[in-house]
Each structure stands twice: as C-alpha cells, then as structure tokens.
C-alpha cells in the first residue's frame, strides 16, 4: 500500500514532489497550500518588473522543458503560467487543497504516523498560523514533506512609528496594485534584488523616488535577451539544442560563478566586471562612491540587473544613505531630516532563517522542531532531522544557492525522498541517525570556511548568531552526488 503523504506548499518544491509521486503511480498524497493558487514565490511576488535572475531554461524542471520562454529571464507572469501549466498537465489539481494552512504536525509514536492539523486561510498567503482561520479536523499521514520555501514570509523591519504613516505602505512581496504610483512620492526601503527589479519601473511613473540604502549591494549586469519566434521554434524543434543551452547555463554557474563565491579563479574577474558596470552606468563619482560595496562580492546576495543603476542616476530619484530614525505620518525621517512620501514600499526581504515557522512541528518524544533548532536550523543533506521520523524537507537548511538554480536543488531532494519511500514502506518510519547528522554538520562547517559568506557582512544567508543556515557551500553537482541515493545506514528504522 502506498504511504499517505502530506506536502506543505504548492510552489516549485511541492509541485515537483507531487509530479514525481504521480509519475511513480502514487496518488495517496495531498498538497496543502495556504495561498489561493499554486506557484509560491511566483504567485506572491507580483511587483512591477518581477522576474527570475537565473535563466528560465535552467530555472525550470529538467523533466518539463518548456521551449516557449519569451526571453532569457522571463517575468513573473510567465513563470507562474509555467507552474500552473505543470499543475494542470500532471493532473495535480484534484489533490491540491488551496486556502488551507498547515498549523501543526505531530508525530505519534504509537502509530508511527503524523497528525496534521490545518486551518482555512484567507488566501493571501499570510495565514501565519495565528489561529484566526477556521480549524479543520486533524488528518493522519505516514510522511510529511515540507515545501514551504526559504523566501516565503515577508520580513518587515522594526522602525519606530511605522504604524503612524498616513499614506499607503506595503511589502514588495505583497504589492498593493490598488495604489497607482503615478505622480506620487514613493519611498523604497531596501535595495536588494526585488528593489532592483521594481525601482526602474516605479521611477518611470512616480513624481519622486527615495531609495533608502543601508549597505550598498554588488550589482552585475543581467544579459537579458528576447527569444524571437525563430529562436523559440528552433529550441522547440531541436531538443538537443535545448539540452545543450541548459547544460551551458548550468556549467557557467558551476565553473564561473561558483568559484567567485569560493575564493576561486573568477572572484577577481566577477568583481572587476561589477565595478566596470558601476563605472559605466553611474558617471557621478559621489553617487558611485555611495554605491560601492565595502565587503567582498558575494558575501550578500549579488544583484543581477542592468536597469537598477540607470534608475538611481535619474534626477527624480535619490539614494538616501542617512540612517532612518523613524517613520512619521508625512514620510521617513532620517538623521538628516524628513523625506516626504505618499507611499512606502518595504523591499526588506524575507524571514529566511525561520525555516518551517510558524508551523508547530513535534517529533519523537514530544520534541518541538523550533526547540531543536534554537541555535539555528540544520538538517542532514538539508532534508532530514534526527528525532523527526518520516519528515522530509525541500529547500531546507543549507540548500540555497547564490550561483545556480534552486529548482535543480529541489529536484535532487525530491529524487532522494522518492528513494526513501520503498525503505520506509518496508521497514517503518525512518529517522536520520544523530551520528550521520554530526558528520554532515562537520563537513558543512569545513566547506563553509572557504565561502565568501563568512566575510564580515550581514545577509539573509545567516541567522542572528551569524551562522550561515541558508546556503549550500558546494557546487550543485556535488549536491547531486551526495543526494544520489539514500544510505540506509544513515537512518534508524522503526522495524
């Protein structure tokens, strides 16, 4: 009999898991999704200019090669359309429960099963298990797969006076499309990858734009290109061409971008490329100085964009580096004075180190996952956690990349979990051994030593204590190798 599987989340991760289950003929799964639709990141981030910065021929499923991308880096609607198409063509919809938030999952030792509790969510993807949703009956599953993503819960800074602002204020991942920004004074707090994508669009219509920058980011050009009908037809008709293009993108990430993050041969090359880009696009030396980062390239997420700097040089756009002291009804007050605004957009990123929060996950012995992870989230291969039998994570701790496609990592994890299913079906709930976890932790720590993320910078890759909990320190190919097949000796089985 097939195990009953609960999948939490219907983004790239949850959909990939469900597709592989379908392909294996296993239909005893349910996807719980707190939002009103599938797509995860690509459902939530609808800000103007939203798009990927890893080319979509690579940033897509290897088994569902889509040849019709209209450009190298398509926008959010196209990526969301691709994911919706996947949900349809693999027949996943009947097993997806939208507007349903998982609030807790508890492992019952007597039965060896998980009790999953859900609540009806309001569909904006922000249910956050605060108990306002209508509670549903508990459901019982053999396996729980978390596919909740790392960049799912918006982070709002704690600036005094935020609630006093008289105008509209929203986070970039919850863009308020009812606000027409034409002719208005807009304050953007933050200057990371999302801001870089929407600032040029907003600058075109706003009366004035202030971009509040705490730390300058490294910016490299985005070599975007439109795929015209002929190119698309060629990619469509010639699978070998499509495969070669994807392979080239993958190898470029592995052989050129990865070494730039690992103190390798290309670190100086990419740094010089970024500085040339800055010099070419920002003629004013004073502004250029403010936009020059004071830490090594790659320590924080590198912004990949060709339109951000030109937008920052517009006469109606200011880069404000004076520290913010408070938000007031009229706008943003800094140490240098008031910057008036009609609208504030928080481009302040996500709560990245709180993996699986706020879902209450309880493992063997009544142990809470949040308690287990007090010092920082960690998981064997980023997938399994001691004391939490038959719980598997997608895009879990230390599986984020700065140089290649997250979809690649998710596929490795899904293949691994698929490989676990026969084992747990035959030998009962499987739980990773603490010794395997300890060996994994040591190898991660060793590899982390050479990565640029350790350099002195604050970033979303680290938790509050400064430990890198998000990123994978190896190449994507190494991750594929280590997740090739489950090693039964790394696990304890109930039978």
User: Contact positions toward ligand FAD, by CB under 6 A?
Assistant: 8-14, 32-35, 40-41, 45, 50, 52-54, 59, 101-102, 125, 147-149, 151-152, 194, 359, 394-395, 405-406
For ligand FAD, the closer of residues 52 and 235 by Cβ is 52
State how far the Cα of 477 lies from the Cα of 225, in Å rounded to an integer: 27
Round to whole Å and give the CA distance between 284 and 203: 19
For the chain, the distance separating the N- and C-terminal CA atoms, rounded to the nearest angstrom, is 17
CA distance 94 to 87: 10
Question: Which residues make Cβ contacts (< 8 Å) with residue 449, sequence separation at least 6?
Answer: none
Least distance CB 489 / ligand FAD (angstroms): 29
**Whole-number minimum distance, CB 144 to ligand FAD, in Å?**
11
CA distance 278 to 67: 34
Smallest gap from Cβ 442 to ligand FAD, in A, equals 26
Token pair in block for residue 392: 């598997």
- The Cβ of residue 161 has, within 10 Å, a number of other Cβ atoms equal to 14
Q: State in angstroms the smallest separation of the CB of 406 from ligand FAD.
A: 3
Closer Cβ to ligand FAD, 54 or 436, answer by number: 54
Query: 101 or 378, CB closer to ligand FAD?
Result: 101
Comparison of 54 and 317: residue with beta carbon closer to ligand FAD: 54
Buried b (16+ CB within 10 A) or exposed e, 219-246: bbbbebeebeeeeeeebeeeeeebeebb
For 423, the token pair is 């084992």
CB of 226 to ligand FAD, least distance (A): 18
- Among 13, 36, 47, smallest CA distance to 348 is for 47
Alpha carbon distances (Å) from 12 to 129, 410, 414: 22, 8, 11
Q: Of 454, 437, 446, 430, whose CA–CA distance to 478 is shortest? A: 446
Output the smallest distance, CB 110 to ligand FAD, in A: 25
Report how far residue 238's alpha carbon sits from residue 28's, in angstroms, rounded to the nearest whole number. Answer: 36
Q: Could you tell me the smallest distance in angstroms from the CB atom of residue 369 to ligand FAD?
A: 13
Q: How far is the CB of 146 from ligand FAD (least distance, A)?
A: 8
CB 148 → ligand FAD: shortest distance, Å? 4
Q: Which is nearer to ligand FAD, 55 or 486 (CB)?
A: 55
Please identify, using beta-carbon distances, which residue of 199 and 394 lies nearer to ligand FAD. Answer: 394
Tokens representing residue 78 in the block? 């196209």
Nearest C-alpha neighbor of 90 from the set 186, 176, 18 = 18
């Amino acid at each position: 009999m097939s195990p009953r599987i609960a999948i939490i989340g219907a983004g790239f991760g949850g959909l990939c898991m469900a597709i592989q289950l379908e392909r294996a003929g296993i239909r005893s799964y349910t996807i719980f999704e707190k939002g009103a639709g599938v797509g995860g990141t690509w459902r939530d981030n609808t800000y103007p200019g939203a798009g990927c910065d890893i080319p979509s021929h690579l940033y897509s499923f290897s088994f569902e090669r889509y040849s019709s991308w209209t450009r190298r880096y398509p926008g959010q609607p196209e990526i969301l359309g691709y994911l919706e198409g996947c949900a349809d063509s693999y027949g996943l919809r009947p097993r997806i429960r939208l507007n349903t938030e998982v609030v807790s999952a508890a492992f019952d030792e007597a039965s060896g099963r998980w009790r999953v509790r859900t609540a009806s969510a309001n569909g904006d993807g922000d249910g956050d298990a605060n108990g306002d949703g209508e509670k549903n009956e508990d459901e019982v599953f053999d396996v729980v797969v978390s596919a909740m993503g790392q960049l799912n819960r918006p982070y709002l800074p704690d600036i005094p006076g935020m609630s006093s602002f008289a105008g509209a204020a929203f986070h970039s991942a919850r863009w308020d499309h009812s606000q027409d920004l034409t002719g208005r004074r807009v304050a953007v707090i933050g200057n990371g990858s999302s801001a870089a994508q929407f600032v040029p669009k907003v600058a075109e219509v706003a009366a004035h734009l202030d971009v509040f920058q705490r730390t300058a980011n490294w910016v490299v050009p985005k070599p975007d290109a439109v795929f015209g009908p002929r190119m698309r037809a060629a990619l469509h008709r010639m699978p070998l061409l499509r495969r070669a293009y994807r392979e080239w993108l993958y190898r470029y990430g592995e052989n050129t971008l990865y070494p730039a993050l690992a103190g390798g041969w290309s670190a100086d090359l990419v740094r010089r490329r970024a500085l040339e880009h800055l010099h070419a696009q920002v003629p004013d030396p004073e502004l250029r100085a403010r936009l020059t980062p004071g830490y090594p390239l790659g320590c924080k997420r590198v912004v990949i964009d060709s339109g951000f700097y030109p937008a920052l040089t517009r006469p109606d756009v200011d880069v404000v580096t004076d520290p913010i002291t408070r938000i007031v009804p009229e706008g943003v007050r800094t140490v240098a004075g008031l910057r008036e605004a009609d609208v504030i957009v928080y481009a302040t990123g996500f709560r990245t180190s709180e993996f699986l929060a706020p879902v209450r996950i309880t493992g063997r012995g009544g142990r809470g996952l949040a308690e287990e992870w007090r010092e920082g989230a960690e998981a064997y291969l980023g997938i399994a956690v001691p004391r939490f039998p038959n719980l598997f994570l997608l895009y879990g701790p230390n599986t984020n990349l700065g140089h290649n496609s997250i979809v690649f990592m998710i596929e490795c994890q899904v293949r691994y979990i698929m490989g676990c299913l026969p084992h747990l079906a035959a030998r009962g709930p499987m739980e990773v051994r603490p010794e395997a976890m300890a060996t994994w932790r040591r190898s991660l720590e060793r590899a982390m030593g050479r990565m640029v993320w350790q350099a002195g910078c604050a970033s979303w890759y680290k938790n509050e204590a400064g430990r890198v909990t998000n990123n994978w320190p190896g190449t994507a190919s190494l991750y594929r190798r280590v997740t090739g097949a489950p090693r039964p000796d790394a696990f304890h089985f109930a039978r």
